[in-house]
Structure formats: C-alpha cells, structure tokens
Chains A and B, each alone.
Chain A
Amino acid sequence: MAQAITVTVNGTKRTKDVEPSQLLVELLRDTLGLTGTHVGCDTSQCGACTVLVDGRATKSCTILAVQTDGAEVVTVEGLAKNGELHPVQRAFASEHALQCGFCTPGLMITAVDFLARNASPSDAEIRHAIEGNLCRCTGYHNIVNAIRSAAAMMTMSAQSKVAAEVKR
C-alpha cells in the first residue's frame, strides 16, 4: 500500500505517495528526477548514492523512502546556494578530484557532513571518513587534497565572517 510522505528535498517540501519497499534513492531518482545521486552497487559498499538526511551522510540505497517522512534531504543538486558552489564542490574541481564523476556526488556529500563535524582534519582522518565511498578513477589522492583544501576554504570564510562581526 502506497503511503504519503512529506520530505524537504533541497529546501523544497515534497509530498509524494511511496511504496513501503521504495528506497530513498528510488524516490530521488525515479520520482523526483534528481539523477545526480547515482547507484553504483547493491550491497551498500560504494557510496555513490550518499545524500544528507537531516545533515548526516546517508547511503540512500540503504534507507527506505518512508523512513525520511518529515526529514530534510540534501542531494548534490542542493549543494550550491544562490548560484554559488559549495566550497567542497569548488575544491573538487580545482584539485582535479574527479575524473568520470560518477562517484563524485556521494563523495562530496560525505565530505560536507564530515567537515561539519571536523573543521581541520588530518589526511588520515579524511581517508577514514571517505572509506565508505569508492572511486575507481582517482586513486583518492586528489580527493584527499580537495577535502583538505575545502576545509581551509571553509575555515577562512568562517574567520572572515567573525572578523567582519568584530569590526561592526
């Protein structure tokens, strides 16, 4: 029996009928047409489908759509704000942290969640944080660089905000 759920996806409230067996990734891709979230495996290994559910990186192939009733979901399509790319997106491009780009949305989402909890991580911490996201193209070297660079960008931007406050 389909049931109606309301999910806030990338800032917009969406009410949809979903089957109890429907996965969140199916809701996002098939029902809402948000195809930036990818499916790379069927065993929850690859992390290509990672999205933010209430701020936490979540493999959307491993959670049912009904479980997200009332939740806030952010996908790769929702990372940029007001036409401005998220620092993680900018860093992935500037550090050449993507090649084919298939795993990239999931990796960026994982990084966004991780950096929210650890603003200045070590390389080892970065590698540990992304070990649930597989990439076959980059050997992870530039992904680690990108996340480190995004952390620096975000810290600098936070500091300049504080400085601006102090000035006022």
Chain B
Amino acid sequence: MTTATTTTYIGTRLQRKEDPRLITGSGLFTDDVTLPGMVYVSLVRSPHAHARIRRIDTSAATKEPGVVAVLTGKDLEATGVLPVFISVPKQSTSKHMPIATDKVRYAGDAVAAVVAETRDAAKRAADAVTVDYEPLPVVVDATKALEPGAPIVNEELGTNLVFTYPVKGGDIDKAFGDAEVKVSLHLVNQRLIANAMEPRSAAAKFEAGELTLWSTTQIPHFVQLIASLNLGLSQNKVRVIAPEVGGGFGSKLQVYAEELLVGHLAKTLGRPVKWTEERREGYLATVHGRDLVGDIEVAAKRDGTILGVRIRTVANMGAYLQAFAPVSATILHAFIIPGPYIIPAFDIEIRGAYTNTTPVDAYRGAGRPEAIYAMERAIDRLADEIGMDPAEVRRKNFIPPDAFPFNTITGITYDSGNYAPALDRALAMADYKGFEKRRAESKGRGNYRGIGISSYVEICGLAPSKANSALGVGWGGYESARIRVHPTGAVQVFTGTSPHGQGHETSWSQIAADALGISPNDIEVRHGDTFESPGMGVGTFGSRSLPVGGIAVHKAAEKIREKVIQIGAHLLEASPDDVVIEGGKVFVKGVPEKAKNFGDVSMAAYVANNLPAGMEPGLEATVYYDPPNFTFPFGTHVAEVEIDGETGAVELVRYSACDDCGRQINPMIVEGQLHGGIAQGIGQALYEGAVYDDNGQLLSGSMMEYHVPTAEDVPAFKLDHTVTLTKTNPLGVKGVGEAGTIGSTPAVVNAVIDALSPLGIKHLDMPLTPEKIWRATLKSKGEGKR
C-alpha cells in the first residue's frame, strides 16, 4: 500500500472555501428556506416551571385569521419520545414528549403548537390558546432536588436522582492519611446558555412520499434516524439537510421536538412548514450547559506532590434527560480530571438530578471545562497553602515525557504528551518573571493585579466504538467519508461530519489534496445532506471532526490514490511501486515528462476497457474509520488581570496560550478555533450565567440580562503552540475545537483570585462580576456591612 507522505497543503494557511458565499450573503441558512405554500409554527410554552395541565382550550386560537391547525401533546403522542443516546449504570431516564401531555416540568415546556399562514398569524393565535394549569411545588437547585421530600419532577421515576457515577483508583484513604497538607474548595460551575448566533430553526416539505427536513443541527444523520423511526417513514424517504449552520457549541447536538414537529406537520398537512425560534424562546427551550456544584479535596505533601484527589459533585440535568446529557456530567468529566498530572489516588462521585429548569446538555468542552476548572483551581489553592509558585506545583506533578503511553488513575491511556514545554512557552509569552513588578505598579494605582495559569489535557477524538459501548454510549464513535472521482477527474468528498463554522470544506480539501497529489482547488467537500453523505455520519461535536472524520477522508483518499497508481502504472506500463502522483500528474518517478493527467486515469477507470486484470471499474471509495483510542490535546494558558480597586471591574490585560493539538492541518483555522474558545471561556469566568428564581423563572432570559462577551470585553490573544503528534492516527492530529474553552476559564479565575489574595480572598464563584468582587473586597476589609 502506498502511503501519502507529502504535506504540500497540510500545514498551510489556505484561505477558506466557505467564505465567498458567507461574505456575500449568498449562504443558505435554515430560516432562509422559504417554499411556496409554506405555513409557520409558533409554540405555546408554559409560564410555570412545574404544573399539571388541567385543560387546554384551543377553540379561540383555531378561529384566529390564517390559522391552519392547532395541536396539543395528544396529537403528537404517536411521534414517540425524544431520544436519549446514553445509558450510564442505573440511569433513570425521563419520558420526554415533544409536547407535554400531562404536566409541564420547566418554564418553556411546550404545551401546544399553532400553525398559520404567516409567522405573525401563528404568533397571534398562540396567544389565544388558553391553558388551565394547576401549579405544583418547584425545585430549581440540584442539591435540594436530591433531598427527601423534594418535589418530584418526573413522577413515573419516583426520584429526581438520574444517576450516581463513581470513578475510583488507588488508595484514597491512605492518600489522605499520609497527607502533610489538605486543601478543599466548594466550586459552583454555573449554568450557561450557548447563544449560537443563529437561533434554532427547522423547515420541512413532504412530496411524493418523501420528507425533506432542513435543520440547524450538528447531527443531521441522527435527526434523520429518529425522524424516520418516530414519524413512521422508511429511512430512505427522510432527507435531512443541515445547510449553513450558524454555530452550535453543543446546543444543536440534539434531536429536538421542533424538528419532529415540522416533519409531522409537513407530512400530515401536505404543506411546507417552518419554525424558527425567537431568541428569548431559545433561552427557555434550547438546552443549557454546565451547572455543576461540587467539592474538591486534594491531599498533598508540603513539597507540592499531589497524593490524592476526592470530589463529590451534583450535576443539574434540568427537567428532562437530553440526548447526550449524562456524558458531560460523567464520562467526559470524571475521566479527565487528573489532566496532565500524576494523581496516585482518585475518588469521584457525581450525582445527576432532575430539576424544574431547562434541560442541560453539552456546551463547548462538555465536561472537560468543568473537570479542568476543578483541578486547576485546586492546584492554585494548594500552591497558596504551601507558599509555592503555582507554575512549579504544576511542573512538579506533570507526567514526565518519558512516561508515555501513560495509564491514568481513571483507567485511560494517554498515548502521548509533553507538558513542560507548553508551560514554559506560555510563561515566557506572559512575561511571568516580570509579573511582580507589574503587580507593584498596579498597587501604586490603587488596583489589584493577578496572574493565573491553567494547564490542561483534554479527551478528544470521540470515540472508539468499543469504548463508547463500555461507557454506555449507545452508538459507535466512528466517522464516514466517501470520495467520488468523476470520469473527468473532478473530485467530490462527502463527509459524515457536519460543520457549523469549523471550515471542514477547507481542511478536508487539504487532507485529500495531499493524499491524491492534486490541488485543493480541484476538490469539492460536501456535508450535511443525508442523501449525499455515506449511510451514517456521526456528526460534529467534542472536537472529534478532524481526528475521526478527517482521518476517514485521509483513508478514503489513500484508497483512491492506490487505485490511481495501479491504473496509472498499467497505462504507463510500469510497476506501481515506481509510480507517483504530483501536481495532478501520474508518472514514473524521475520521468515526469511522460505523465498521465489525473483526469486521464480517472477517465480510464470509467471507460474501463484497459484496466489491470481483475480490477473493478470506477473510482470511488467509502471509509468508516473507527479510532483505536481517544486523542489527548494539551496546553497551558496564562491570564493577567488588573482589577479596579474602586469598582471591582476586571480588565484582562494580557492573555497568552500555548496549545498542542498535534499536527495542524490549517494553522489559520486552528488559531480561529482557539480565539473563539478562549473568548467563550472568558465569558464563563467573568460575564455569563443563567439565573433562576426559586419559582423556576429564568431571570437571565434574554441577551439583555445574559452577557455574551463583546469585542470590548476580551483582549487580543497571544498564541503559541508545540507539536506532539498523536500515535493514534496516521496524521497525528488531535482536535482543537474546545481547547480554548477548557484552558481559559480556570486561567482567568486563577488570575482574579491571585489578584485578590493579598486581601485574604481564597475563592469566588463565577461569573466574577464587578459587584461580586467589590463586595468581597469590602468584606475582607471589614466593611461588609456598608
């Protein structure tokens, strides 16, 4: 088998193929799909967080002008429950109907759907639906939800406990018994709202027995699968298209009620149907992220050596269990808490709880930001306790480079890693050595200055299908690719990944170009249409697209390359071992003047009257790539802040990050992923937080109350990288979509706490708003009552 060894295009800053349509306004997003005869859906949503539905009166709504149909939960019972793809041990899974039938379990739970000729008419008629609710006691806080006597959110389960998930390794009692020093922190990892800039939308048409469903989704194939099963359509009659998708960050990693609803309506009404969420509606009815509360304890020696880590955490799952929800709280969280460190003993127990709040699922990083936040805050607490430089505590506990492959205490195997160089380079960029001088200068201005470090390892490349099975994930973690070379030599790559900003059309072209010896400009990458891509694509989430989907493209291109060389050798009357492809020419090594064009060879493959003996005609290859292991990107981020001594406002004065995602296919895209991730992590540290009152009303219910960072809230970022290739895949790529979010949040919080440490402040929970900091500084000065 010939292997492509050239990296002509891999590693270059190729301009994005996606951009020409996106900068001219010609890209098609789901809400841009408008069809003749289209009708529009508006949902009636519960104002109560927990209430029994006594009666729904739709008669007035039905009489409103332009109304086509009004549906309640009973009309949709036949479409079945919304899917949960995860089953951890003893999981109690809620029965989540597309529209509530018996009772509502969170403010925003849908109770009826109105279909009308226009958006406005549907909205007006939705206001005319009257629902008689019997309000029930509400539980919002996950810890309280697990106490005896708490209101039960899903009565059929008899409990609010979703799961108890323990992971243990080593002798934790001995670790704490031997400890010279113990530190502990109570940490709130607040609830977040993803706020992808494109609101969710779904449109459908049903023609000649075939359903076409456009959706703002990260997983079109799963939407197709569930739409087929739940709507009673043969899967070959359900085409799901994820056109341009305007960001996801996990919030579009679902099969949502509205997708099934528009499919059902298109099928039953025989008219095209569209639903697009309003942003405030999205705040209630699109999944939220994070929301973990826990205690971390670290046992260590006075020299900074960590002996053991113990964690008890409660994860708020919201009112219903969503498609992948337990994964973020359990697997992607617990297993990666040790990060880059040698942890001899480990003991974690995570409990999931139902509450009367919007359901929670993956949000950029999905479990890993929570894990690294806990560990990195604890490391800083330990450094503070023993009076040691936090950088040195990290360095002391790093897994040394000669220890790989390294089996962690949680039972996973890091194939590769080299953590100290990334730390060193990040510290150098941050001028860590010169910091104390800057701190003194800030003090002279009456301000507090702090510097914070965060070193992480993440777990990407989700996932080996066997590992998925062992962990309770009900579907394999492979990815698919099909490459079709047309007779003329035109190349199309069909990928099972479903990008929504990540630039797969560009990066996949670079990968295929190097394997095929042609230009990326001669390759078209197509995605997000279940009638074009291979039978199953798992989709885009968890920084998996490149280390799984990109490798599938690479392997499919290698198959094509092999066949082109075989045919080329036959036409050139040479041995395949001597034939190469370069610059779109197929020739015997050293004899480029006697070459066949790539297109001549593809034409020969289809003309098929002069092929090597026994070779089948055509030039097409499909690959399902199942990775043998996860990948483990790593890095160190350093944040520096200056806090206004009067107001408590945090200014991020410097941000430096050194990340290692293995080989970079397109460094420009890698940097973009890091910039965006870092900004989102800063958002969690300083600005963002979903807030409920005790009645389950979302107080941060719009962009006016929930602060998505603006250009003035984040600094310019200084980036560097190291390259440690993973041995898990032939390109050595590891994934980078979430690294920024994972590294940044703890770095920023550590910087703020470092700044406030002269006041004796040991910890504050996120978001670190000016008010929170101001109050804390007053309290520490003994002026708390002011």
Is B truly associated with A? yes
Q: Give A contacts to B, CB under 8 Å.
A: 29-30, 33-43, 45-46, 48, 75-77, 79-80, 85, 89, 92-94, 96, 98-105, 108, 123, 126-128, 130-144
Residues of B in contact (CB 8 Å), total 55
A sample of 8 more A-B contacts (CB under 8 A), given A96-B671, A136-B197, A136-B680, is: A41-B279, A46-B708, A77-B26, A89-B24, A99-B502, A102-B29, A136-B708, A137-B676
B280 proximity list for chain A (CB < 8 A): 42-43
The answer to whether A138 touches B675 (Cβ under 8 A) is yes
Instruction: Say yes or no: A76 contacts B24, CB within 8 Å.
Output: yes
CA–CA, A71 and B19, complex, Å: 30
Interface mask (B702-738 → A, CB under 8 Å = 1, otherwise 0): 1110001011101011000000000000000000000
- Known contacts A99-B672, A136-B249, A138-B676; decide if A43 and B25 are in contact (CB<8 Å): no
Q: Which residues of A contact B20 (CB under 8 A)?
A: 93
Bound Cα distance from A79 to B26, whole angstroms = 12
> Which 7 residue pairs across A and B have the least CB separation, nearest first?
A36-B25, A102-B246, A101-B22, A139-B679, A100-B501, A99-B501, A139-B675
Within 8 A of A (CB), among B361-417: none
Shortest Cβ distance from A95 into B: residue:
B668
Assess whether B23 is in contact with A96, with CB atoms less than 8 Å apart: no
Determine if B245 is an interface residue (Cβ-Cβ < 8 Å).
yes
Check B32 against A35 for contact (C-beta < 8 Å). yes
State A137–B246 Cα separation when bound (angstroms).
9
**24 A–B contacts from the bound complex (CB under 8 Å):** A35-B32, A36-B25, A37-B25, A38-B246, A40-B198, A40-B199, A43-B702, A76-B23, A96-B669, A96-B672, A98-B22, A99-B502, A100-B198, A100-B500, A102-B196, A102-B246, A134-B708, A136-B194, A136-B249, A136-B676, A138-B679, A140-B675, A141-B714, A141-B716
The answer on a CB contact under 8 Å between B244 and A93 is no
A100 touches B246 (CB 8 A): yes
CB distance from A125 to the nearest CB of B (A): 11
- What CA separation (Å) do A93 and B724 show in the bound complex? 29
Per the bound structure, the CA–CA distance linking A123 and B27 in Å amounts to 29
Which one of A40, A43, A99, A105 has the highest number of Cβ atoms from chain B below 10 Å of its Cβ?
A99
Does B765 interact with chain A (Cβ within 8 Å)? no
A75/B714 in contact, CB under 8 A = no
**Chain B residues whose CB sits within 8 angstroms of the CB of A34 once the complex forms:** 25
A127 to B, closest residue via Cβ: B711
Which of B27, B245, B669: most chain A CB closer than 10 A? B27
Asked if B703 and A38 make an inter-chain contact with CB atoms under 8 angstroms apart, the answer reads no
- Is B32 within 8 A of A101, CB to CB? no
Given A38-B29, A46-B197, A131-B711: A141 in contact with B22 (beta carbons within 8 A): no
Is there an interface contact between A140 and B714, defined as CB atoms closer than 8 Å? yes
Asked if B279 and A43 sit within 8 Å, CB to CB, the answer is yes
Question: Across the interface, do B279 and A93 meet the contact criterion of CB distance under 8 Å?
Answer: no
CB distance from A59 to the nearest CB of B (A): 12
A43 touches B19 (CB 8 A): no
Q: Kindly list chain A residues whose C-beta atoms are within 8 Å of the C-beta of B716.
A: 123, 141, 144
Query: A-facing mask of B666-678, CB < 8 A → 1, else 0?
Result: 0011011001111
- A35-B29 contact in complex given A96-B669, A138-B676, C-beta closer than 8 Å: yes
Task: Please name all residues of chain A whose beta carbon is closer than 8 Å to the beta carbon of B22 when the two chains form the complex.
Answer: 98, 101, 104
Checking A38, A127, A139 against B678 with a beta-carbon cut-off of 8 angstroms, the contacting residue is A139
CA distance in complex: A33, B712 (Å): 33
Given contacts A38-B246, A93-B19, contact A45 B703 (CB under 8 A): yes
* A139 touching B717, Cβ below 8 Å: yes
B18 on the interface (CB 8 Å rule)? yes
Residue B770 lies at the interface, judged by CB distance under 8 Å to chain A: no
A36:B26 contact, CB within 8 angstroms: yes
Residues of A within 8 A of B702 (CB): 41-43, 45
Residues of B within 8 A of A92 (CB): 19, 23
B712 touches A127 (CB 8 A): yes
Cβ proximity bits B238-257 to A, threshold 8 Å, 1 near / 0 not = 00000011110100000000
Tell me the complex Cα distance, A131–B502, Å.
Answer: 24
In the assembled complex, the Cα of A123 lies from the Cα of B714 at a distance in Å of 12
B772 interface residue (CB < 8 Å to A): no
**Could you tell me the distance in whole angstroms from the C-beta of A64 to the nearest C-beta in chain B?**
14
Do A98 and B19 have beta carbons less than 8 Å apart? yes
Query: What residues of chain A lie closer than 8 Å to B28, measured between beta carbons?
Result: 35
With A48-B197, A139-B678 known as contacts, the answer to whether A96 contacts B16 (CB < 8 A) is yes
Cβ of B742 to closest chain A Cβ, rounded Å: 14
Interface centre among B15, B279, B679, B711 (most CB of A within 10 A): B711
Taking CB atoms and an 8 Å cut-off, the chain B residues in 138-197 that contact chain A are: 194-197
Q: Report Cα–Cα, A140/B713, bound state, in Å.
A: 10
Q: How far is the CA of A105 from the CA of B26 in the complex (A)?
A: 10
Q: Separation in Å of the A5 CB from the closest CB of chain B?
A: 19
The smallest C-beta distance from B635 to any residue of chain A, in angstroms, reads 16
For residue A81, give the distance in angstroms from its CB to the closest CB of chain B: 12
B703 contacts A46, CB within 8 Å?
A: yes
What distance in Å separates the Cβ of A104 from its nearest Cβ neighbour in chain B? Answer: 6
Taking the complex as formed, is B278 at the interface, i.e. its CB lies under 8 A from any CB of chain A? Answer: yes
Which residue of B24, B31, B197 contacts A135 across the interface (Cβ within 8 Å)? B197
Once bound together, how far apart are the Cα atoms of A134 and B704, in whole Å? 12
Tell me how far the C-beta of A68 lies from the nearest C-beta in chain B, rounded to whole angstroms: 18
A138 touches B197 (CB 8 A): no
Closest to A93 in B: B19
A99 proximity list for chain B (CB < 8 A):
247, 501-503, 672, 676
CB distance from B748 to the nearest CB of A (A): 13
